[in-house]
A = this chain, B = another copy of it.
Amino acid sequence: MALTSDLLRGNTEMIILAKLYDRESYGYEIGKMIQEKSGGRLELKEATLYGAFRRLEEDGCIVSFWGNETTGARRRYYNITPKGRLEFDRSLREWQEAKNLIDALVITEKRGEAT
């Protein structure tokens, strides 16, 4: 069963930027990669994905262009910008901090925990 949307919230843009960090890609592929890498337990729905692309492009974190496919459905490709890399680095640090803070609040010695 999939994870609740609320735990994803605030992380979708970071996840997208991570996928674009090393090479360009397009929406459908990114969505599929996330599904596969998480064993189907995590899914960015299309509406969520495209909403995030729009925000990221408005913020100057990514740029998009239509691919010149000669066959099959057309694709809109995305590239990360320098600003996008900075934003990814920042959001990754914030995520690490949030993780540790939340863990510190919910994990006690008595109950213990395994990661």
Residues of B within 8 A of A70 (CB): none
* Residue A29 is within 8 A (CB to CB) of chain B in the complex: no
Distance in Å from the Cβ of A109 to the closest Cβ of chain B? 11
**A4-61 interface with B by 8 A CB criterion:** 4-11, 14-15, 18-19, 21-22, 34, 37-38, 41-42
Determine the residue in chain B with the shortest Cβ distance to A1. B94
* Residue A73 is within 8 A (CB to CB) of chain B in the complex: no
B38 touching A105, Cβ below 8 Å: yes
Q: Which of B15, B111, B115 has a CB less than 8 Å from the CB of A96?
A: B115
Distance in Å from the Cβ of A82 to the closest Cβ of chain B? 16
**A41/B101 contact (C-beta < 8 A), A4-B94, A6-B9 known:** yes
A7 touching B10, Cβ below 8 Å: yes
